[in-house]
Structure 1
Amino acid sequence: MKIFIYSRKSKWTGRGESVENQLTMCREYIQYNLEGADKAEIVEYEDEGYSGKNTNRPQFQKMMSDIKQGGCNYLVCYKLDRLGRNIADLANLIETLNKLNVSFVSIKERFDTSTPIGKAMIYFAGVLAQMEREQIAERVRDNMIMLARKGRWLGGNTPLGFRAEAEEKISINGKNKKSFRLVMDEEEIKVVQFIFQEYLEKQSLVGIVKYFLSHDIMTKRGYEYSTTAVKDILTNPVYCIADKEAYDYFWNLGCQVCLEEEEADGKYGLISYAKTSSSQYKNKDNAPEKWVIALGRHRGIVLGKDFVKIQKVLKYNSSKGDRWHKPQNQVALLSGLLYCSCGHYMRPKNYSSKQLTEDGERKFSYLCTYKDKTNGKKCSTANVQGNTLDRLVCEEILRYADENSSVYQMLEEMKEKIINTKEDKVNAADILDWEIQKRKKEVKNLITALAKSEGNEAFISQIEQEITRLNDECAALEKEKGEALEEGCLVQGNRQQLDVLIHQLQSFQKLFDSLTVIEKREYLRMILDKVVWDGEQAHIFICGSH
């Protein structure tokens, strides 16, 4: 019999529901309540520091994968909400367990999924868990709105032109914490003022970026400016003066405006919360209805009417969609793959429509985008004739597909080395697993002896020490086994990648003459990592081989 135990805690605390305590209570429950538990194999899964709002938890996902492979008889957890707080996730989990004949036990609620009433109670408890999560989220949002009304800076990266300054201490849940507000940085704010003035006049994000690149003006964190970085500044309400026009704009947009109309008197700037949300650690824009707009305690720099005008221009340009960014060159094969030796992309630039190649294609060249944006001040790499470079790169790729070529032989040798390495790693993992299982069996025997010890303290202490030693050895071996398996999986993945690459090279050779320009581009993207032009030569980098 095989029993899985799952434990989870959002963050470590010294309170009673720690991961260790959950596991201990589950083991005790199994020992005294499940028939045949003394001979069962128990596998533990721990997720420390993960929320129950979804199932994106490494050990949970591993456990579900192991369950689907078969062999599991029971899934035991301390409480239902340790598995998750989303009713849909819980319903899918219970359905999966039922299909695989896996019994589920929640030791706190005493659920039994083998009966209809047990299933109904689990779904009901799941609804309550989800309701609790939503209430917590609502309380957090209410607190944020309350703080927003005071114009506080709640932390994070300060916007360009401002720094955070500590004020008086405030009491939150009996704990004293510092309060912060934004204070203008007189030097940095000049860059922001230039951006707004330049865009109001010329309405060009690219123009601003070109100016910054040519004058070595970098972002607050030392990166080159991009159109996205400039746009983020232009759309940030923190720079907008809280006046009548600004109030009406955000109110009509549907935002949660946390100031009275008469407070929008032009004395201060605005401050926004919840404008973006974190999705896999990348900022994602929220709908305006979720934005919280409040009166800040700092000076704004842009009148409401100008801020609104800028938002309308940005929205109009964005609405052009694909037409606005539609590529003008229909024959270039290396777009997106070709780099200048300075590190920036090279883009195609058409010659006159009257200039054609012998095959009737329009002539074009590739030029460095950095050289173009800085008017040649930061990069002087010579342009390259595009039609010729595309043809030479394709000829070289076709040559690679020949079994006698040095590149083909190199890929085959790499694959052979990987196969040999994989065998060693798998054998090492198998040996480690055997050692782990031996120690786990010893631990089980000791636990059985401990249960029959009848209160002999010296004997109990001796057994506990031995169990601790064996568990420590198991943990060390598990780590070593994990590293061996991880390397084995990486090796296997590299082998498959090489197999695919060799197949793509052979396919490209056979199909080249019949492929369209678009299809050739796609094939090149599968085969090439990049091509670098240094002004005289092109350096080709094959995927997975450099």
Structure 2
Amino acid sequence: MVIFIYSRKSKWTGRGESIENQIAMCREYIQCHIEGADQAEIVEYEDEGYSGRNTNRPQFQSMMQSVKKGRCDYLVCYKLDRLGRNIADLANLIEMLNQWDVAFISIKEQFDTSTPIGKAMIYFAGVLAQMEREQIAERVRDNMIMLARKGRWLGGNTPLGFRAESEENVSINGKRKKSFCLVTDEEEIKIVRFIFQEYLQKQSLVGIVKYFLSHGILTKRGKEYKTNTIKDILTNPVYCTADREAYEYFWNLGCQVCMDAEEADGRYGLISYAKTTSAQYKNKENAPEKWIISLGKHQGIVSGKEFAKVQKLLERNRAGGDSWHKPQNQAALLPGLIYCSCGHRMRPKNYASNQLTEQGERKFSYLCTWKDMTNGKKCSVSNVQGNTLDALVCEEVLRCTEENSDFGRMLETAWEQIRESKEEKVSAADLLEQEIQKRKKEVGNLISVLARTGGDEEFIRRIEGEVRKLNAECTALEQEKQESEKACRVMRGGKEQLEFLKDRISSFRALYHTLSVPEKREYLRIILDRVLWDGERAHIFICGSRSTGRECRAAETDDESPPLPSEETGE
């Protein structure tokens, strides 16, 4: 008999319903209420720091995979909401457990899924758990609105042009805590004013980026400005003055405006809350209906009228805003793949319309975007003749299928490594898992003995010492097992990648003369990791390994004959 114990806690606190306490109570219940538990194998699954809002939890998913394989007779947890707070997820889980003949026990509510009333009670408890989750979210939002009305800065990355300063001590639930507000940084705020002025005049994000790059102006964290960085500044309500126009703009946008119209008198700026979501740990912008707009305690930078105008300009230009990332040259094969040795992308640049190749294609070159934006002040790497480089790169890729090519030899070496190590790694992981389960079973037996017999302090100390020793051995074996499994996954992934790569390259070679330019471009994006141009030589990277390189002239005027190729040893 195999019994699974599942425990979860959203945040570690070291008290109350901790992971350890949940497991201990589950083990005690198992020994007292499940017949034959003394001989059962007990497997523990722990998800520390994961919310019950969904089932995207690593140990939960691992447990369910084992359940599907028929490796479980009982699933025990402390409370139903440890499995989840979403009624749909809980309903699906109970149905799956019934399908696989797994008995489910919640020791706190004492549910029994083998009876109709037990199933009904679980669904009812699931409804309550989901209601509790929604009430928690509502309380958090209400608390955020309350804080928003006070104009407090709640933390996070301080916007450019401001710094957070302690304002006063406030009392929250009887505890004294610091309150922060935004204060203008006179040096940084000049950059913000420049960004708004330039965009209102020229309506070009790229133009602002070019200016900053050419003048060596970096972000407050020492990084290069990008168009997304500029856009984030232009759309941040913190720079908008709280005047009548701003109030109407955000009100019409559907935001929750936490101030009266009379308060929007232009004396202060705005603060926004819940503009982005942290779901799945990714900051994605929420819909305007979820934004909370409040009166801050800092000075605004632009008027509400100007801020609204900037937003309209950004919206109007959005359709073509990212077009410079897309291939504009219909003949170029390497946009998005070719990089300058300075680390920045290169883009195709057309010659005059009357300059054509022998095949009738318009000539072009690849130039470094960093060099272009800084007018050659930050990068001096020569441009490369694009038609010639594309042909040489394709030639190198086609040569990969030849028996004596560098890539062919690399494939053979990789295949040998996979064949030699695959079986050894798999068997090692299996043996380690057996040893881990043995020790876990011993720990469970010791705990059950202690729970039944009690004993004096010396006896308890001996048992605790033995449990700590076995747990330490389990931890060491688990780490070794994970390393072994990781090596196996790398090998399996490497095998699949090599098979896929061989197939793509073979198809590319067989279909090369019938493929259109866009189709060739897609094949190259699958086969190549990147192409690096250093001003004299192009280095081709295939799946993270450097292949052979070809020397290619950088001159843009002498293009009558292709440069002679030269071999370079791959790494």
Q: Same fold (TM over 0.5)?
A: yes
Shift of 1:452: 6.0
Q: Deviations over 1:233-256 (max 9, x none)?
A: 111111111111111111111111
Which amino acid in the other structure matches residue 482 of structure 1? Q
For residues 379 and 180 of structure 2, the distance between their equivalents in structure 1, rounded to whole angstroms, comes to 43
Contact 2:4 2:72 in 1 (8 A): yes
Shift of 1:77: 0.3
Shift of 1:370: 0.8
**TM-score between both structures, scaled by the size of structure 1:** 0.96
Worse overlay, 413-422 or 245-254: 413-422
Structure 1 segment 314-329 matched on structure 2, within 5 A: 314-320=314-320, 327-329=327-329
Q: Deviations over 1:66-119 (max 9, x none)?
A: 111222111110000001111111112112212211111111111111222211
Structure 1 segment 238-387 matched on structure 2, within 5 A: 238-320=238-320, 327-387=327-387
Structure 1 segment 147-546 matched on structure 2, within 5 A: 147-320=147-320, 327-447=327-447, 449-450=449-450, 453=453, 455=455, 459=459, 461-546=461-546
Worse overlay, 512-521 or 324-333: 324-333
Contact 2:28 2:448 in 1 (8 A): no
Q: Which residue of 1 is the match for residue 560 of structure 2?
A: none
Contact 1:527 1:543 in 2 (8 A): yes
Q: Which residue of 1 is the match for residue 46 of structure 2?
A: 46
Shift of 1:447: 5.0
Q: 1:204 to 1:77 in 2, by over 3 A?
A: same
Q: Which residue of 1 is the match for residue 565 of structure 2?
A: none
Shift of 1:470: 2.2
For residues 272 and 43 of structure 1, the distance between their equivalents in structure 2, rounded to whole angstroms, comes to 47
Contact 1:206 1:227 in 2 (8 A): yes
Q: 1:499 to 1:544 in 2, by over 3 A?
A: farther
Between the aligned residues of both structures, percent identity stands at 73
Shift of 1:321: 7.0
Q: 1:451 to 1:25 in 2, by over 3 A?
A: closer
Corresponding pairs, count: 546
For residues 452 and 245 of structure 2, the distance between their equivalents in structure 1, rounded to whole angstroms, comes to 80
Contact 1:497 1:544 in 2 (8 A): no
Contact 1:408 1:502 in 2 (8 A): no
Contact 2:87 2:123 in 1 (8 A): yes
Gaps of 5+ in 2: 547-571
Which amino acid in the other structure matches residue 150 of structure 1? K
Worse overlay, 109-118 or 175-184: 109-118
For residues 458 and 192 of structure 1, the distance between their equivalents in structure 2, rounded to whole angstroms, comes to 69
Q: 1:452 to 1:172 in 2, by over 3 A?
A: closer
Gaps of 5+ in 1: none
Shift of 1:264: 1.0
Shift of 1:64: 1.2
> Secondary structure of the residue that 1:14 maps to in structure 2?
coil
For residues 544 and 324 of structure 1, the distance between their equivalents in structure 2, rounded to whole angstroms, comes to 26
Contact 1:411 1:545 in 2 (8 A): no
For residues 293 and 438 of structure 2, the distance between their equivalents in structure 1, rounded to whole angstroms, comes to 62
Structure 1 segment 82-161 matched on structure 2, within 5 A: 82-161=82-161
Shift of 1:445: 4.8
Contact 1:453 1:460 in 2 (8 A): no
Contact 1:498 1:544 in 2 (8 A): no
Shift of 1:528: 0.8
Q: Which residue of 2 is the match for residue 69 of structure 1?
A: 69
Q: Which residue of 2 is the match for residue 37 of structure 1?
A: 37
> Secondary structure of the residue that 1:44 maps to in structure 2?
strand
Root-mean-square deviation (CA, aligned residues, Å) is 1.9
Shift of 1:193: 0.7
For residues 98 and 164 of structure 1, the distance between their equivalents in structure 2, rounded to whole angstroms, comes to 55
Shift of 1:394: 0.3
Shift of 1:169: 0.5
Q: Deviations over 1:127-148 (max 9, x none)?
A: 1111111111111111111111
For residues 237 and 444 of structure 1, the distance between their equivalents in structure 2, rounded to whole angstroms, comes to 57
Worse overlay, 313-322 or 506-515: 313-322
For residues 324 and 461 of structure 1, the distance between their equivalents in structure 2, rounded to whole angstroms, comes to 69
Shift of 1:455: 4.9
**TM-score between both structures, scaled by the size of structure 2:** 0.92
Shift of 1:508: 1.8
> Secondary structure of the residue that 1:259 maps to in structure 2?
coil
1:7 counterpart = 2:14: no
